[in-house]
Amino acid sequence: MRPPDCYGAVRAALDAGYRHIDTAYGYGNEGDIGRALRDSRVAREDVFLTTKIPSRRVGFEEETIANSLRLLQTDYVDLWLIHDPPEGQQSERLWEFLIELRNRRNARTIGVSNYSTTQIDAIVKATGVTPAVNQIKWTPALFDRERLQENRDRGIQLEGFSAIRLTDLRHPDLLRVADAHGVSTAQVLLRWHIDHGVIALPRSVQPDHIQANLDVWNFALSQPELDVIDAMSTVG
The pLDDT confidence band at residue 3, using thresholds 50, 70 and 90, is confident
Mean pLDDT of 48-77: 98
Q: What is the pLDDT of residues 175-231, one digit of tens each?
A: 999 999 999 999 999 999 999 999 999 999 999 999 999 999 999 999 999 999 999
Q: How far is CA 120 from CA 61, 65, 86, 137, 193, in A?
A: 20, 22, 12, 16, 22
Q: What is the pLDDT of residue 14?
A: 98
Mean pLDDT of 98-119: 98
Instruction: Report the chain's mean pLDDT, rounded to a whole number.
Output: 97
What share of the chain in percent tops pLDDT 90? 96
Q: What is the pLDDT of residue 236?
A: 81
Positions marked active-site:
27
Asked if residue 2 has pLDDT above 90, the reply is no
**Would you call 108 exposed, middle or buried from its count of C-beta atoms within 10 A (0-12, 13-18, 19+)?**
middle
Q: What is the pLDDT of residue 132?
A: 98
Separation of alpha carbons 111 and 38, rounded Å: 26
Phi, psi of 192 (to 5 degrees): -60, -45
Q: What is the pLDDT of residue 199?
A: 98
Asked if residue 100 has pLDDT above 90, the reply is yes
Q: What is the pLDDT of residue 106?
A: 98
Mean pLDDT of 156-163: 98
Report domain extents, the chain: 1-137, 163-236
Asked if residue 93 has pLDDT above 90, the reply is yes
Domain 1-137 part of CATH 3.10.129.10: no
